[in-house]
Amino acid sequence: MVRDHVRPGQTLFLGGFGHAVPFALGQEIVRQGIGGLTLCRSGADILFDQMIAAGVVRRVIFGYVGNPGVGLGHAFRRAVAAGTLELEEWTNFAMILRLHAGRLGVPFLPARILGIGDQTPATAAAARIACPYTGTELTAIPALVPDVALIHAQQADDEGNVQLWGVDGDTVEGALASERILVTVERIVPAATLRAAPERTRLPAHRVTAVAEVPWGAHPSWVDGAYGRDDAHYRDYDAVSRDPATLDRWLDDWVRSGGGARCTDLLTDDDLAALRTALGGAS
Amino acid sequence: MVRDHVRPGQTLFLGGFGHAVPFALGQEIVRQGIGGLTLCRSGADILFDQMIAAGVVRRVIFGYVGNPGVGLGHAFRRAVAAGTLELEEWTNFAMILRLHAGRLGVPFLPARILGIGDQTPATAAAARIACPYTGTELTAIPALVPDVALIHAQQADDEGNVQLWGVDGDTVEGALASERILVTVERIVPAATLRAAPERTRLPAHRVTAVAEVPWGAHPSWVDGAYGRDDAHYRDYDAVSRDPATLDRWLDDWVRSGGGARCTDLLTDDDLAALRTALGGAS
Amino acid sequence: MTALGETARIALAAARELADGESCFVGIGIPSDAALLARRSHAPRLGLIYESGVFGADPPGPPLSTGSPEVAAGAAMIADGLTAFGELQAGRISCALLSAAQVDRFGNLNSTVLGPYEAPKLRMVGSGGAHDIACLARRLIVVMPHDPRRFVERVDFATSPGAAPRDTARRRALGLGPGPSVLITGRGRFEMTADGWRLAATLPGFSAADALEGLPWGTPPGPVPGVAFDAAALSALAALPHLHEPSPAP
Amino acid sequence: MTALGETARIALAAARELADGESCFVGIGIPSDAALLARRSHAPRLGLIYESGVFGADPPGPPLSTGSPEVAAGAAMIADGLTAFGELQAGRISCALLSAAQVDRFGNLNSTVLGPYEAPKLRMVGSGGAHDIACLARRLIVVMPHDPRRFVERVDFATSPGAAPRDTARRRALGLGPGPSVLITGRGRFEMTADGWRLAATLPGFSAADALEGLPWGTPPGPVPGVAFDAAALSALAALPHLHEPSPAP
């Protein structure tokens, strides 16, 4: 799926705001060495950091890059220091609005933010406009239309309708803003099962380019109703990612040699059972 | 609830796009004779027409007023001809964007519509703006913040969290755009029941002014999972509303003497059972 | 074939305009019926989208409203109106079907007023989503019964803008869709040209003269082919009872 | 009382700022802990809102991320980030809590870089929603451990704008919230004035001199009252083990 639909140099939206982060898809891109990419989303976690460490990322468009609740993104931090990563830095709300504008098919949306405080080069370049009715000064947040969205979700049917529930953040905004949508799911379900709960469908089949069944495809993040978040993995990543050589060996073990769903091969059956019944997982 | 929170002359958003139209709340306003109202929504059905016929409406802000699939809104049509109703006429997408702007707290949102074709006085007065990035000419759709939203939904808990699923249209947009939200529900449920399916909650407790349990509160429209749409009632309304005197008698029977949930008193038990098991109702 | 009612003929002819895998924004009535016929015959993966926010619908019976139980029953996705119109504005929906009270030479549609706006002879329902669809759809098919009163040189109010050459230039400048390209009536299939509608084909049982009878726009440039309804579509029609009523021979 | 760890003290003191029935936009860490403490003691109807789109949360344990299972578990509503920030921008959320790497005299917060933006000494995580919250919140409470390195005359980068008099005027013109009004540290409670933070109260076990130790802003204008933690809050704290660690006496 990745081989057919992701090209070097493209702009990719990565789904998952803490929940349902598309690790399997992102790590497959690392394995295939598809480089020169621009990654975007509002709040990004260690999948961004891993892809930066693996050298496939040229540029990030973001509101936050780190290891939430744990600390900094160390590969991100080093790449900034080395000058090997271009930054286009917004805020989380600004990123959501950039994607919302893309999704709605307008070139910009107005917002009250970014008119005060220190600005990054990106936000300093944003246009200021006046509301034609009230005169209020607003920031014109430019639309963002990524080439490809990478999404992990609970389930899809054969036609490609995708059901995703639980924490969303900007996942659906980013998917619908994108030209193409690639999806991994925990399971493929019959069309009748999906159509019995149409409110859970968030991406309609005609917008979805390809779907693959990849259980555990969001590990170490979590999938509501399937498995909990592997917080220990996020904490471990902080330790291994502080040193570039250690991180490189870790990427060999966890990403390059298998990765994605298969990185769960490195967990014991007991580990997986514990995650399955963890908070957020199946009960 | 209506007595405490609705004042003459206010602007009311009426929820329900075909589904879950707040008939009980609207008809209670008629019974209490709260007049001089402005009603707004995108696509409005016969509840607008009844409130116009009852003389409580001074103005409508709308994209459509009619009896969907059946015909015109006859009281609406007559009030326009008589010059007793002020029209502020947009389109459905424009109304959705007006409410969306209100909900997002910006004074306008840009859109590609309303720049071609004949314009109503309202749309002709809408400002045209240029995108500061692309130069594209766009229409600035002004925000709409109704005083009160009237909403019917499936269920709520004691705290006032409201769950609404199925067809939405602009119901949630209009509710969140409004200063206050009044809600009738088919049933009050324990907080634990509601919190077991938090994706179904669409209005958070701190935004909801009051909730009342009013089973059948959306009849003759429908409530997903509870009862089907009483299409025969909509067809009958077309017949009775063609003549003002007939309509006035009908309003006495169906609205003024009881109305809302109680208008189902006029249906037989067999009628109600049939609606409960109709398409869309409980199975 | 003359046993087919007018609604059935229009739905059959309009269904032929829709390809498998397309997404199609539809309203209530013939637009919905036509898309459903296509989905039940040659286009099983056609995605029906209603302005109420329903995607991938497959109504088990004719809905009265875009928010009716029939629209929701068995749908693939229920979102909201913002999602439906947003996808349309972003150019993510491949086509749309519209009808109205009046259509004119350049495909302007009227669903607002007969007579002047400020003092109408008949106040109708208003745009609903029709203006938005006519602006934003990437491909637009208009369906109308062959009732000459509905076909006018210029509509009383252009609720839904058409494709006159001047409008086409403005549409391009605004980043809109091209406007209506095909008109299906109960008797013929018309295509939009720089001079307005041109009869491109006739429906089974009707001649070119029948198709143009009472219309304010011109004669066909030469011989006009006939549209043929295939067996799959006719058999799908048979399963939609409300479209299967007989009608008087023309 | 000196057995209370710094995190617990800050959470207890910040919780006192929140009234029952309020809605409160919170992030991970002490902001989340403080709001939860309030909800579990004097403010049982406090609505916790996370930028991930979760409303009415009641985390059973400390989440690492605003999208963590603990945030979703038992929440009243899960929507999306647009809904959360939209409600904030529309002024529909009564207050917010923020923390950061640095805070300065006028409540500017830095979570972007130490050193210059183009050549940082330390590149941090960036704004996330912090800038947005600092602009839009109708009432803003800042929480910070008492680590003098974090308290500076002027932050290296004002990710989240403060409430200097010049900024206050601009905030009014832009229709923004007033900026930070209260700062809770591990030792004191500060209020924003036209001259910047002014010590308004001390936390149990600390003197005014302790509260100001190592800070770049001035002495208190006179005697400063002490904050008292009530029994309900302390008992709620006991049920939140991660906040109950002992800490060295000051």
For residue range A254-266, list pLDDT tens digits in order: 898 865 555 677 7
Number of domains present in the structure of chain D: 1
Closest-CA residue of chain A to C136: A105
Residue B136 domain boundaries? 110-142
Is B198 an 8 Å CB contact of chain D?
A: yes
Give yes or no: residues B162 and B190 share one domain: yes
Neighbouring-strand partners of residue B38: B11, B59
Pick the residue with more confidence: D230 or D121?
D121
Chain centroid to CA B273 = 25
Is residue C40, in this structure, part of any structural domain at all? yes
Is residue A131, in this structure, part of any structural domain at all? yes
Query: Nearest C-alpha of chain B: how many angstroms from D83?
Result: 8
| Block residue for tokens 């789109």 | D53
- How would you classify residue C48: left for phi > 0, otherwise alpha for psi between -120 and 50, otherwise beta? beta
Is A63 an 8 Å CB contact of chain B?
A: no
Do the Cβ atoms of C69 and B224 come within 8 Å?
Answer: yes
| Block residue for tokens 């002992």 | D246
Is B244 an 8 Å CB contact of chain A?
A: no
Residues of D in contact with B205 (CB under 8 A): 45, 47, 56, 76
Measuring CA to CA, how many Å separate A122 from each of A87, A91, A137, A174, C92? 9, 10, 18, 19, 28
Q: How far apart are CA D155 and CA B124, in angstroms?
A: 49
Is residue A219, in this structure, part of any structural domain at all? yes
pLDDT of residue D222 exceeding 80, the answer is: yes
Do the Cβ atoms of B110 and A110 come within 8 Å?
Answer: yes
Is residue C249, in this structure, part of any structural domain at all? no
Is B107 an 8 Å CB contact of chain A?
A: yes
pLDDT of residue D6 exceeding 70, the answer is: yes
Is residue D250, in this structure, part of any structural domain at all? no
Closest-CA residue of chain C to A201: C77
Per-residue confidence at D1, pLDDT binned at 50, 70, 90?
very low
Is residue B105, in this structure, part of any structural domain at all? no
Average per-residue pLDDT for chain A: 95
Q: What angle do CA C232, C238, C241 make, to 5 degrees?
A: 145
Strands, sheet with D102-104, edge to edge from the N-terminal-most edge strand: D109-110, D102-104, D151-152
Provide the pLDDT for residue A261: 57
Q: How far apart are CA D67 and CA D75, in angstroms?
A: 12
Q: Biggest alpha carbon distance in chain A?
A: 62
The DSSP secondary-structure symbol of B227 reads B
Is residue A103, in this structure, part of any structural domain at all? no
Q: What average pLDDT does range C59-74 have in this prediction?
A: 94
Average per-residue pLDDT for chain B: 95
Bridge-based pairing state of the strands B137-142 and C180-184: unpaired
Lowest mean per-residue pLDDT among A97-101, A211-215, A262-266, D152-156: A262-266
Lowest mean per-residue pLDDT among B226-240, C5-19, D213-227: D213-227
User: Per the residue annotation, which of D22, D51, D213, D245 is the catalytic one?
Assistant: D51
Closest-CA residue of chain A to C72: A198
Give yes or no: residues B83 and B136 share one domain: no
Is residue B265, in this structure, part of any structural domain at all? yes
The structure tokens listed for A27 are: 């790590």
pLDDT of residue A233 exceeding 90, the answer is: yes
Per-residue confidence at A45, pLDDT binned at 50, 70, 90?
very high
Do the Cβ atoms of B204 and D76 come within 8 Å?
Answer: yes
User: Per the residue annotation, which of C6, C17, C22, C51 is the catalytic one?
Assistant: C51
Residue C128 domain boundaries? 6-243
Q: What average pLDDT does range A131-151 have in this prediction?
A: 98
Query: Nearest C-alpha of chain D: how many angstroms from B8?
Result: 24
Is B208 an 8 Å CB contact of chain D?
A: no
Provide the pLDDT for residue C204: 95
Give yes or no: residues A10 and A25 share one domain: yes
Give yes or no: residues A175 and A119 share one domain: no
Give yes or no: residues A128 and A258 share one domain: no
For residue range C93-128, list pLDDT tens digits in order: 999 999 999 999 999 999 999 999 999 999 999 999
Closest-CA residue of chain D to A231: D64
Mutual orientation of helices B244-251 and B231-241 as an angle, nearest 10°?
A: 130
Which of D26, D54, D55, D176 has the most B C-beta neighbours within 10 Å, making it the best mutation to test the interface with B? D55
Give yes or no: residues A245 and A271 share one domain: yes
**Do the chains D and A touch each other, judged by at least 3 C-beta pairs below 8 angstroms?**
yes
The structure tokens listed for A115 are: 């008119």
Q: How far apart are CA A84 and CA D77, in angstroms?
A: 41
Per-residue confidence at B232, pLDDT binned at 50, 70, 90?
very high
| Block residue for tokens 């809605």 | D23
Give yes or no: residues B114 and B83 share one domain: no
Query: Nearest C-alpha of chain B: how many angstroms from D131?
Result: 17
Share of chain C above pLDDT 90, in %: 87
Share of chain A above pLDDT 90, in %: 89
Do the Cβ atoms of A17 and D120 come within 8 Å?
Answer: no
Is residue D248, in this structure, part of any structural domain at all? no
Mutual orientation of helices B244-251 and B74-82 as an angle, nearest 10°?
A: 120
Chains touching A, CB cut-off 8 Å, 3+ pairs: B, C, D
Question: Is the ipTM here above 0.90?
Answer: yes
Residues of B in contact with C129 (CB under 8 A): 43, 63-64, 91-93
- How would you classify residue C56: left for phi > 0, otherwise alpha for psi between -120 and 50, otherwise beta? left
Chains touching D, CB cut-off 8 Å, 3+ pairs: A, B
Provide the pLDDT for residue C249: 39
Lowest mean per-residue pLDDT among A56-65, B181-190, C14-23, D2-11: D2-11
Provide the pLDDT for residue C241: 82
Give yes or no: residues A181 and A115 share one domain: no
Is residue A121, in this structure, part of any structural domain at all? yes
Is residue B99, in this structure, part of any structural domain at all? no
Do the Cβ atoms of B229 and C64 come within 8 Å?
Answer: yes
Measuring CA to CA, how many Å separate D214 from each of C153, D115, D218, D219? 83, 21, 10, 11
Provide the pLDDT for residue A100: 98
Give yes or no: residues B82 and B160 share one domain: yes
Is residue C250, in this structure, part of any structural domain at all? no
The structure tokens listed for B21 are: 């139209």
Give yes or no: residues B134 and B152 share one domain: no
Q: What is the DSSP string of C47-95?
A: EEEETTTEEEE--SS--SSTTSHHHHTT-SEE--HHHHHHHHHTT-S-E
Residues of B in contact with D86 (CB under 8 A): 103-105, 176
- Closest CB to B106: pick one of A106, A138, A166: A138
Which of B13, B87, B168 has the most C C-beta neighbours within 10 Å, making it the best mutation to test the interface with C? B168
Residues of C in contact with B168 (CB under 8 A): 52-53, 78-81
Q: What average pLDDT does range B82-98 have in this prediction?
A: 98
Is residue D249, in this structure, part of any structural domain at all? no
Provide the pLDDT for residue B4: 93
User: Would residue D213 show up in a list of annotated catalytic residues for this protein?
Assistant: no
Provide the pLDDT for residue A262: 59
| Block residue for tokens 């406009």 | A129
Do the Cβ atoms of B92 and C128 come within 8 Å?
Answer: yes
Is residue D211, in this structure, part of any structural domain at all? yes
Is residue B100, in this structure, part of any structural domain at all? no
Stated pTM of the model: 0.97
Write out residues 105-134 of B within 8 Å (CB-CB) of C. 111-118, 120-121
Provide the pLDDT for residue C239: 85
Do the Cβ atoms of D77 and B198 come within 8 Å?
Answer: yes
Tell me the three state secondary structure of residue A249.
Answer: helix
Share of chain A above pLDDT 70, in %: 97
C-alpha closest to that of A198 among C81, C76, C53, C45? C76
Give yes or no: residues A12 and A138 share one domain: no
What residues contact C169, with CB distance under 8 A and at least 6 apart? none
Mutual orientation of helices C231-238 and C6-15 as an angle, nearest 10°?
A: 130
Which of C123, C160, C167, C170 has the most B C-beta neighbours within 10 Å, making it the best mutation to test the interface with B? C123
For residue range B135-180, list pLDDT tens digits in order: 999 999 999 999 999 999 999 999 999 999 999 999 999 999 999 9
Provide the pLDDT for residue A267: 81
Number of domains present in the structure of chain B: 2
Chains touching B, CB cut-off 8 Å, 3+ pairs: A, C, D
The DSSP secondary-structure symbol of B85 reads S
The DSSP secondary-structure symbol of A262 reads G
Provide the pLDDT for residue C2: 45
- Closest CB to B161: pick one of D54, D76, D89: D76
Question: How big is the A-D interface in CB pairs under 8 Å?
Answer: 195
- Closest CB to B279: pick one of C60, C89, C128: C60
Pick the residue with more confidence: C246 or B224?
B224
The structure tokens listed for A191 are: 């069309």
| H helices present in B223-268, as ranges | 231-241, 244-251
Q: Biggest alpha carbon distance in chain B?
A: 62
Residues of A in contact with C49 (CB under 8 A): 204
Measuring CA to CA, how many Å separate A213 from each of A21, A160, A188, A194? 15, 11, 6, 15
Query: Nearest C-alpha of chain B: how many angstroms from D200?
Result: 30
Query: Nearest C-alpha of chain B: how many angstroms from D79?
Result: 7
What residues contact C126, with CB distance under 8 A and at least 6 apart? B62, B63, B64, B65, B66, B89, B91, C111, C112, C159
Is B180 an 8 Å CB contact of chain D?
A: no
pLDDT of residue A282 exceeding 90, the answer is: no
For residue range B107-141, list pLDDT tens digits in order: 999 999 999 999 999 999 999 999 999 999 999 99
Provide the pLDDT for residue A283: 64
Residues B96, B170: contact at Cβ < 8 Å?
Answer: yes
CATH code of the domain in which C86 resides? 3.40.1080.10
The alpha carbons of chain A give a radius of gyration, in whole angstroms, of: 19
